[in-house]
Structure 1
Amino acid sequence: MTRTFTIEKDGFPDLPHLMLATLKALRHLGGSASIHELDETVIELEGVTEEEQSYTMPNDDRQKLNYYLAWARTFLKRGEALENSARGIWALTATGETLSSLEHMQAIHKRVNQEERDRAREKRQAAAAKKAKHKKQATNASLPEATLDDALPEEDIKESWTATLLDVLKAMDPSAFERLSQRLLREAGFVKVEVRGKTGDGGIDGVGVLRVNLVSFQIYFQCKRYKGSVSSKEIRDFRGALQGRADKGLFITTGTFTSQASEEATRDGAIAIDLIDGDRLCELLKTYELGVKTTMIEHVDVNAEWFQGL
């Protein structure tokens, strides 16, 4: 199979190729998709291996492939080829429907990069003017251009609080993280939630009972502070510990799951395992207000015409 792009542990992928792969995946999905669906489809169509999915950025724990796919979407959006809704659904635009070649992607990439350079220059000029206005000592040192290495794509800037929260979670003591998972499950409606601790119980960290109307399900869970990706092998190992004990499992992690791990979790004929990755964990903690508080900002509009009519 011919790959549209390559991704390596060291070095950086070519963004126009990732942009082209993103468009192909979106067309395969019918023209619209969530970020998760889109990333999973790129991985499937391109045959990205679990090892490649595990590569992280040089200075943090963000998965390299997901990071650059986010940038690919950002460039395509600025090139008016994609649009996204408040609910995180990405869709092809009328312009995007007409784009299908690497040359198209390279043209968008070049134009957006030039716009970014122009914007950076304007910021430098505005900063210099402000310094001159306040009679501060000027500096001849030029500011560095913004690069992908020290920036975030638009969609990640909006959700930067999750990165802060994940850093906190990853720094927690393992036993404290297990207690947090226990509290979260209780808030979500589980009863009789028990944390097993380090009992050597085949990777099982705890068990709880979920009541749905007149039916109750005993669910074993595993909660791990991962910095990288959970592989399909780890899902199989967890399932092996569930054999003969439960009809369902739950795997909670601060990291991510590879595409193969997600497939393994719902494999036909095997015990189903629900997956909660770092992003979903953050959203759940936000929903149940566990260490996360949302502050609503009041916006007041004054209608001057109303007063004139008195």
Structure 2
Amino acid sequence: MIPTYQECMKPFLLALNEAYPAEVKIRDIINHIANQFNLSDEERATLFSSGNQRVIDNRVGWARTYLNKAGLIESPRRAHFVITARGQAALQQGQDINTCYLKQFDEFVAFINKTNKNTNDDKQNNIETGKVSEESDITPDEELRAAYSKINNALTEELLDRTRNVSPAFFEQLLIDLLIAMGYGGTEEGAAHALGKSGDNGVDGVINQDPLGVDQIYIQAKRYAETNKVGAGEIRDFFGALNLKNAQKGLFITTSDFTASAKDTAHQLSSRIVLVNGKELARLMLRYNIGSRDEQVLHLKKIDEEFFEN
């Protein structure tokens, strides 16, 4: 299991203490900690959902930041670190090294007070009373990502509930807007045909995969209640309709879900049929701003080490 950033603090100090007085590269420290916790290759390579940073790198990075702000380590030059006398004394005491331990140092408390005051006055009050939120085992980055995920999960549920209750015509336009936003058809005019109508031999609509309409995707859309799942029979009917039209690609969308037998049937009959259930539909709507909009954009930034190299 990947260690928390607090669990990385003492191994970080130990790695520097073993090398003292030599400086140690941050990458070597990360590898040392990964080895100490017997991380698998998969765990070492695990990325955040954004795909921009490895989890172990982020957690060791925050351990470094807090140890540095508490005066237990210092950085003589870019990406190189050495333990301080305070850091060596901390190891000699034999205590756990975590945010609770670091709170005894004025520099660390001042850093926490300052960073929290700039973002949330309520958190400032907690720090002054000794309730430092940084005692959590997750990094500030992970707290932000968790909050982001929680908000999006709630939004997808609400989007799905509202989509189940719209009119057939509204549902038709919603799907057209979504597919065009995803890059199908090129423009709205002529991109989609007969979506939401009574159907033509088991097909609810057709959308162009390219602006010229050379390649087309046939669509079956079911605005079902959550408990009304699509069964294998409906998948077979759709497959038969695709064969009648010599269609190469089919998209089956539902606001509910597919039964296990429906999924197996789609897999066995043809790889041409793509299934999109309610949760996936709502996630796509959220991603492409269909029924939602950006309220505020937050940029998560980090230090540009190369900028300070010289």
TM tier, smaller: 0.3 to 0.5
State TM-score, norm by structure 1.
0.42
State TM-score, norm by structure 2.
0.42
Larger Rg: 2
